[in-house]
Structure 1
Amino acid sequence: METKEPITPEERREFREVVGLFDTVDNLQSAIDDLLTRGFDRSEISLLAEDESTREQVGAKRSVELEDNPKTPRIPYLEAESLNEGKASLVGILFYVGAIVGALVVWTTRGAFAESIFAGVLTGLVAALIGIGVTKLIGGRQRSWARSQLERGGLLLWARTFTAERERAAIDAMQRNGGHDVHVHTAAA
């Protein structure tokens, strides 16, 4: 019996994508916004996953060495609005939980309504301040991520494409917004 060799990209579990390198966070964000307005889904857009060991794992120092490497670790794109909503939710939830816990502790130990309200507000504010501190750490990590990549040659952006028309749209969006070394490559799923 003869086995059939995969002939289409889908059968070979391959896909095509456009990759570009950006010199500023603003240009990167403009290109992403342009891709989104052209109908690309957030799930089709990815960025370099940066940590201390990322480049060592792949064996590359400069960003251009990572563009077409199938082992390059990536992260999905998250909109700034989504991150801000998450940060606000964290602060709000911590305030709420802190207020409830503080009020219940005082209410059960002292039985005084006014003191319970005061304790709830106070513990809620303390918990919210902790949440604000955590959001500052998240913002610091984002800045560190961008700075680290820029020091090594630029910010990488990938956009998965399924048709020649979408490839042209992605190339145009990246080039119009300051991307360089923009090209199409085939990657394995």
Structure 2
Amino acid sequence: MEPNETNTLEQRREFSEVVGLFDSVEKLQSAIDDLLTHGFDRSQISLLAEDDAAREKVGTKSSTEIEDSDEAPRISYIETESLNEGKASLIGLLFYVGAIAGAIAVWTIRGSFAEAIFAGIAAGMVASLIGIGVIKLVQRRQRNWAQAQLARGGLLLWARTWTDDHERAALDAMERNGGHDVHVHTVAPA
């Protein structure tokens, strides 16, 4: 068999996913945490994309109507810790940039070191407040995403599985954490 034929066969291989429906963000997060502690990588975990993308792709169908659809737009799961690190980095970066810009501006205009220090701190604080505002917008967007999904009938969670043991682990994790309509479905090759 030619090497190209092997790659083609591997690319066509079907895989299965365990899908579950959750009625709260807390239960969803608990199931994801359970999956991660039982050998799943976050690249194997996905959620329904934001409502605009979902509405464009699947219309106004309910979560139960799209849970087995290969057309359902998905987003990869991002750990809460990673989001928190990103938020902290944004605020820190904005503070740093604001402080440097404010200090340089005052130093060049006024030539006073003390005034430059105070201006830098003030500018950094203002820039940090802008960062906090951006974070609040992101949090509002996340809340709206969850509310839109719940209005569709629940928060969908998919876990890609390659073995029977992984299937059982995903089924157990989702059911143990309050998942409804938890089942396995096969994804057709692209």
Long gaps (5+) in structure 2: none
- Give the aligned partner of residue 125 of structure 1: 125
The ranges of structure 1 where at least 4 consecutive aligned residues each deviate by more than 6 angstroms after the TM superposition are none
- Give the aligned partner of residue 159 of structure 2: 159
Q: Distance in 2 between matches of 1:135 and 1:127?
A: 13
- Give the aligned partner of residue 18 of structure 1: 18
Q: Distance in 2 between matches of 1:88 and 1:59?
A: 36
- Give the aligned partner of residue 39 of structure 2: 39
Moved more, 50-59 or 148-157: 50-59
* 1:143 aligns to 2:143 (yes or no): yes
Q: Distance in 1 between matches of 2:134 and 2:60?
A: 32
Q: Distance in 1 between matches of 2:26 and 2:51?
A: 21
Long gaps (5+) in structure 1: none
Q: Deviations over 1:95-150 (max 9, x none)?
A: 00000000001111111101101110110000000000001111111111101100
* 1:80 aligns to 2:80 (yes or no): yes
Q: TM-score, normalised by structure 1?
A: 0.92
Match for 1:23: what amino acid? D
Following superposition, the deviation at residue 157 of structure 1 comes to: 0.2
Moved more, 148-157 or 179-188: 179-188
Q: Distance in 1 between matches of 2:175 and 2:46?
A: 17
- Give the aligned partner of residue 116 of structure 1: 116
Following superposition, the deviation at residue 29 of structure 1 comes to: 0.6
Give the count of matched residue pairs. 184
Q: TM-score, normalised by structure 2?
A: 0.91
Q: Distance in 2 between matches of 1:159 and 1:28?
A: 12
Q: Distance in 2 between matches of 1:159 and 1:10?
A: 20
- Give the aligned partner of residue 90 of structure 2: 90
Following superposition, the deviation at residue 9 of structure 1 comes to: 7.7
Following superposition, the deviation at residue 58 of structure 1 comes to: 1.9
Q: Distance in 1 between matches of 2:36 and 2:173?
A: 10
